[in-house]
């Protein structure tokens, strides 16, 4: 029996990076997973790799209410219910001085990183309330705890994602709904060039490692293991935490 046997999870932004690895680990631990992403082909490829009957791919823009409502309905239709939601899809402006980030990029940060959590809560909390149980994991960022220059507006949106996890935990605890945030440090995923503001080379990545006491960047598997812990009964009395998975960068 896996740690997530008989559980049904939605993972957004699961066509690549952290989300794809979270989906893979959840299925390995017995869950059924809806692999949701703007990138439909990518989501289909990830879902197909998880074995027949274990996953569905759903095209979804997490910043669009009708897409999010459809995602929750499609998951319940395929697997009977929803137990776990990982709000992982994210967007960042390119690392650059704060005054050079245009309004469209600012809006996109808040739409994808913050409004999406609101839209998903509206869609899924009524389902969780009816069942008297549910689990929401928001992928925030260590930049929302300890910001550095160049990612000011992204960091602000992730601070909101971190914070809303605590606020939601306080309000939803009486319904037996847990809400936690994972705060990763930089990892070599599809977003790394934008985070660094420079080419994704070993030499450039090394410039960001000096800040991290454990001496390396994060990996998708580091984040997936934390997402497994928070989704499982091992953390059944844990809610409202901002969990840095950052090799000590936030200290
Ligand atoms: N990689 C890092 O260094 C790092 C550090 C801290 C936090 N994060 C956060 O981790 C999360 C996952 O990012 P990643 O690093 O795996 O990057 P990634 O680019 O590999 O994956 C992000 C996925 O989100 C999808 N996506 C983007 N906008 C979407 C939308 N509106 N609707 C649905 N899907 C959308 C993309 O298509 C992509 O598949 C993000 O929230 C990101 O902000 C990443």
Q: Which domains does the chain have, with CATH numbers?
A: 8-239 (3.40.50.720)
12, 15, 18, best to mutate for ligand 1 pocket (most atoms within 8 Å of CB):
18
Residue 149 has pLDDT above 90, yes or no: yes
pLDDT at 145: 97
The overall average pLDDT reported for the chain is 97
Instruction: For residue range 62-97, list pLDDT tens digits in order.
Output: 999 999 999 999 999 999 999 999 999 999 999 999
The model's confidence at residue 165, banded by pLDDT at 50, 70 and 90, is very high
Instruction: For residue range 123-147, list pLDDT tens digits in order.
Output: 999 999 999 999 999 999 999 999 9
Could you give the CA distance from residue 43 to residue 58 in angstroms, rounded to a whole number?
A: 7
pLDDT at 40: 98
Residue 168 has pLDDT above 90, yes or no: yes
Tokens of 81: 């219910």
Residues whose CB is less than 8 angstroms from the CB of residue 96 and which lie 6 or more positions away in sequence, other chains included? 150, 197
Residue 29 has pLDDT above 90, yes or no: yes
Ligand 1 atom at shortest distance from the alpha carbon of 15: 39
pLDDT at 1: 79
pLDDT at 65: 98
The model's confidence at residue 59, banded by pLDDT at 50, 70 and 90, is very high
The model's confidence at residue 99, banded by pLDDT at 50, 70 and 90, is very high
For 136, the 3-state DSSP assignment is strand
Residues lining ligand 1, Cβ inside 6 A: 12-13, 15-19, 37-39, 42, 60-63, 88-91, 112, 139, 141, 184, 186-187, 189-192, 195
Could you give the CA distance from residue 189 to residue 193 in angstroms, rounded to a whole number?
A: 9
Q: How far is CA 113 from CA 148, 151, 201, in A?
A: 18, 14, 26
Instruction: For residue range 2-28, list pLDDT tens digits in order.
Output: 999 999 999 999 999 999 999 999 999
Its pTM stands at 0.98
Is 118 among the residues known to form the active site? no
Residue 44 has pLDDT above 90, yes or no: yes
Residue 233 has pLDDT above 90, yes or no: yes
Considering only CA atoms, which of 45, 14, 30 is closest in space to residue 22?
14
- Between helix 17-28 and helix 40-48 the angle, nearest 10°, is 30
Residues 149-168 as b or e (16 or more Cβ within 10 Å = b): ebbbbbbbbbbbbbbbbeeb
Could you give the CA distance from residue 21 to residue 163 in angstroms, rounded to a whole number?
A: 25
């Amino acid at each position: 029996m896996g740690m997530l046997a008989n559980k049904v999870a939605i993972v957004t932004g699961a066509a690549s990076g952290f989300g794809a690895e979270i989906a893979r680990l959840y299925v390995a631990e017995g869950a059924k997973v809806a692999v949701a992403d703007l990138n439909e082909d990518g989501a289909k490829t990830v879902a197909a790799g998880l074995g027949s009957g274990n996953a569905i791919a759903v095209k979804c823009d997490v910043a669009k209410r009708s897409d999010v409502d459809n995602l929750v309905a499609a998951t319940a239709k395929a697997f009977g219910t929803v137990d776990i939601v990982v709000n992982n899809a994210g967007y960042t402006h390119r690392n650059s001085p704060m005054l050079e980030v245009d309004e469209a990029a600012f809006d996109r940060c808040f739409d994808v990183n913050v409004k999406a959590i609101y839209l998903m809560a509206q869609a899924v909390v009524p389902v969780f309330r009816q069942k008297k149980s549910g689990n929401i994991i928001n992928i925030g960022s260590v930049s929302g705890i300890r910001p550095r220059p160049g990612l000011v507006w992204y960091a602000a949106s992730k601070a909101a994602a971190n914070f809303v996890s605590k606020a939601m935990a306080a309000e939803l605890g009486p319904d037996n709904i847990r809400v936690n945030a994972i705060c990763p440090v930089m990892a070599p995923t599809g977003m790394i060039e934008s985070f660094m503001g420079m080419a994704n080379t070993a030499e450039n990545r090394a410039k960001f490692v000096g800040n991290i006491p454990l001496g390396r960047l994060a990996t998708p598997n580091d984040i997936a293991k934390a997402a497994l812990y928070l989704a499982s009964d091992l953390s059944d009395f844990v809610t409202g935490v901002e969990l840095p998975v950052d090799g000590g960068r936030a200290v």
